[in-house]
Structure 1
């Protein structure tokens, strides 16, 4: 690879745009990163759904252990996030971040390319070997992603001026929500009409597109953050966790996100049963409901930047969670399909705002040298909260049984809406914690070496 050039501050390098131009329209570094991220995410969605269908309906077709085989795919993706993610953050802070992202994309393209050999030689491979290859590929790409994701987060923070970050994350989140709606429907036709190898090829190519987009960015020098490379690994790891504990905003985000996602996880796993038992309609409508939620999230993400300027990022985070919880409570009480579609569309708006505002909030709090470690420490919360919640919700609903019913204050509850109501209350608690704790700011300790380590004054209208 060619040596990287020293570059100007965020958004002002050789690719930042014409003289006198400002904002994201002139920031070609951001545009290339955005394009690469969007294409890569589309490939990931196609890949994820394809692998689940491939394992469940092709490799394990007709087997009693097919659900377990599908669960193995999800486990292979989740375990590296929890176990490797926090450790990878140390290296993401030590290594050149642009080169880390490029190497990660090439490795993932290579892993998926090797997986293409499985359908090509399926007749010569025993079933266990094919499943082992799938699990290994999924786990391998997940491990590499733990190095890529914090590096990308830090790179976007340095490539985009602070006043443009809210808009940048708003557009990136809207793109992610769009491909989350478009990607899964593409997977099944690819698998059942032209075969799984073409879906795998789409994902491999998406990594190569991402590589090229990153390769031709003029990444600001601040993202090539070498911290010696041979420091005390465990001390560096502990420094990230200590920074979270000592920063009011980050500690509050960690607690709120855990409670919030604990509630969301239960709703996700129970939705199919809610459609059949509470809405009393065919489960095939679940796709329409999810589409309404996705559409709302796109709208919410696009509105985030403007709303954050009016309310402030912290207020938007806390009140957005509270609004999501309230609308989810209304959804849990619904018995009409059309009403539920409308409510889920509304749920998506504050949900999209909350997801999009997290990025700029974190960048305002974390010093550049700690971005990888802090980001990698927070990410496992998503998986731990979601997986724990989904497991507990499934056990509770199974134990309650289909005939469970009770009443309170004139409201009648059954097993699914009971758990979903409790979930909305957990989300409301998460929002209340954020609203209360983020009303006042606390400055960093004297001697903090990065201005981003300081907490902004209360209600700062960014």
Structure 2
């Protein structure tokens, strides 16, 4: 807890952390409220709810090659501020589009707002790297994990509550206010020019297609040239598999095995149990990260979470299943905090945006492939138990691989990564 208190004495970090929190809060509340609005108004057309999810994820495919380049070549502070202000304006446009009632316009606004928001996080992560000491990176990763777990636990509930109490327009207005608050916080943060412009000043007109593609390729080459960095980023591919699996597996095991008659009610309980497990695990991971090597933390998280996921397929008693699922959720933050705390210390600040710009599409790719695999194979080829074995087995195998590979790769890596960046002409 002392580490948390110490890091918040850094006023610039506190402002960026709160900005990140409010920006995520706006997105979560508004999107959840909009989903319920669609289910209420178009109850006979559930496809609209699916399209809404696509409007949140598809924009990444349109902008993934640009977001990291912009974060490395343009002023990171201005990018984050403009993202929030533009998102606030598009939230107001969304209110107008819903009032008009023309759904293609509504989905177009959602698409553009989501695309703009994708530029926020690489820029914000790059600034955080520039204002913290290396020994504070794991604490910051732990705090980010806490925020994620809080939104996992309460985000949807806040969205539903906002929709029920102040309606769809009021919920999206909360979006707007949240984005504005986030922008104001970032504007007031004192960030050095070195952290804002690690590669020197550039103008928007400088970023032509040729330069963007060249920089994206350079970021890709940078990751491949560092064995440790490449190995750690494999972890985000695994996160995508876990996210894809866990987005449907708990509902499937309830409906087809544990509670066919009451699976909807128990799905709420699963969300609470999983969210509480991740929340407690975030505290534990933050404390352990100060006492043990990060590669031990990551390997332990993968092994515990993977074996628990596989074991969760066995019980016929729902309460025993929830207990095993809780253990799996408890271990997941060990992985996230370990990798999230390690990456900033080995990535050259000049390349941080481009590396972050590769992580999100990689995670989305593995998540989409996992969902496609499940849609194709279940229940025709695979049973629900087999799905748990596959996802759990993937985690265990990567845990064993990391246990063997990471300690060797960790030795002398920082110097190697910095030299790689210099040789690349970054």
Measure the CA separation in 2 of the matches of 1:103 and 1:260.
Answer: 29
C-alpha contact (below 8 Å) 1:87/1:237 kept by paired residues: yes
C-alpha contact (below 8 Å) 1:317/1:358 kept by paired residues: yes
Aligned equivalent of 1:429: 397
Measure the CA separation in 2 of the matches of 1:349 and 1:153.
Answer: 25
How many angstroms does 1:450 deviate by?
6.9
Which of 324, 333, 337 is the aligned partner of 2:318?
337
What are structure 2's unaligned runs of at least 5 residues? none
Alignment of 1:347-358 (within 5 A): 347-358=328-339
How many angstroms does 1:263 deviate by?
4.1
Greater CA deviation, 39-48 or 372-381? 39-48
- Do structure 1's residue 118 and structure 2's residue 88 form an aligned pair? no
Normalized against structure 1, the TM-score is what? 0.83
SS state of the match for residue 272, structure 2?
helix
C-alpha contact (below 8 Å) 2:306/2:396 kept by paired residues: yes
C-alpha contact (below 8 Å) 1:86/1:376 kept by paired residues: yes
Measure the CA separation in 2 of the matches of 1:245 and 1:277.
Answer: 43
1:207-260: CA deviation from partner (whole Å, max 9, x where unpaired) = 111111111111123222144533733221111000110111221123333234
Measure the CA separation in 1 of the matches of 2:151 and 2:362.
Answer: 24
- Do structure 1's residue 34 and structure 2's residue 5 form an aligned pair? no
C-alpha contact (below 8 Å) 2:139/2:341 kept by paired residues: no
Cα–Cα, structure 1 residues 314 and 86, in superposed 2: closer, same or farther, change >3 Å? farther
Which of 234, 244, 254 is the aligned partner of 1:275?
254
Aligned equivalent of 1:70: 49
Measure the CA separation in 1 of the matches of 2:26 and 2:325.
Answer: 26
Aligned equivalent of 1:312: 293
SS state of the match for residue 218, structure 1?
coil
How many angstroms does 1:367 deviate by?
0.5
Cα–Cα, structure 1 residues 202 and 446, in superposed 2: closer, same or farther, change >3 Å? closer
Aligned equivalent of 2:350: 369
SS state of the match for residue 316, structure 2?
coil
C-alpha contact (below 8 Å) 1:289/1:340 kept by paired residues: no
Greater CA deviation, 291-300 or 228-237? 228-237
- Do structure 1's residue 416 and structure 2's residue 416 form an aligned pair? no
1:325-360: CA deviation from partner (whole Å, max 9, x where unpaired) = 011112121222222222222212211222233222
1:393-437: CA deviation from partner (whole Å, max 9, x where unpaired) = 12211424xxx8xxxxxxxxxx11121211211222222232222
CA RMSD in angstroms comes to 2.2
Aligned equivalent of 2:150: 178
Aligned equivalent of 1:393: 374
Aligned equivalent of 1:55: 38
1:348-385: CA deviation from partner (whole Å, max 9, x where unpaired) = 22112222332221101210111010110121111111
- Do structure 1's residue 24 and structure 2's residue 3 form an aligned pair? no
C-alpha contact (below 8 Å) 2:313/2:385 kept by paired residues: yes
Greater CA deviation, 304-313 or 110-119? 304-313
- Do structure 1's residue 439 and structure 2's residue 380 form an aligned pair? no
Which has the larger share of helix?
2
Cα–Cα, structure 1 residues 268 and 334, in superposed 2: closer, same or farther, change >3 Å? farther
Measure the CA separation in 2 of the matches of 1:377 and 1:157.
Answer: 17
Larger radius of gyration: 1
Aligned equivalent of 1:187: 159
Measure the CA separation in 1 of the matches of 2:345 and 2:418.
Answer: 17
C-alpha contact (below 8 Å) 1:46/1:203 kept by paired residues: yes
How many angstroms does 1:190 deviate by?
2.7
How many angstroms does 1:149 deviate by?
0.8
How many angstroms does 1:26 deviate by?
1.6
Which of 319, 322, 327 is the aligned partner of 1:346?
327
1:270-309: CA deviation from partner (whole Å, max 9, x where unpaired) = 2212112221251111111111111111111122232123
SS state of the match for residue 332, structure 1?
coil
Aligned equivalent of 1:383: 364
Aligned equivalent of 1:132: 104
SS state of the match for residue 399, structure 1?
coil
How many angstroms does 1:57 deviate by?
2.8
C-alpha contact (below 8 Å) 1:320/1:354 kept by paired residues: yes
Q: How many residues were matched structurally? A: 407
Normalized against structure 2, the TM-score is what? 0.89
C-alpha contact (below 8 Å) 1:170/1:302 kept by paired residues: yes
- Do structure 1's residue 92 and structure 2's residue 54 form an aligned pair? no
Measure the CA separation in 2 of the matches of 1:41 and 1:263.
Answer: 21
Greater CA deviation, 294-303 or 189-198? 189-198
How many angstroms does 1:319 deviate by?
2.3
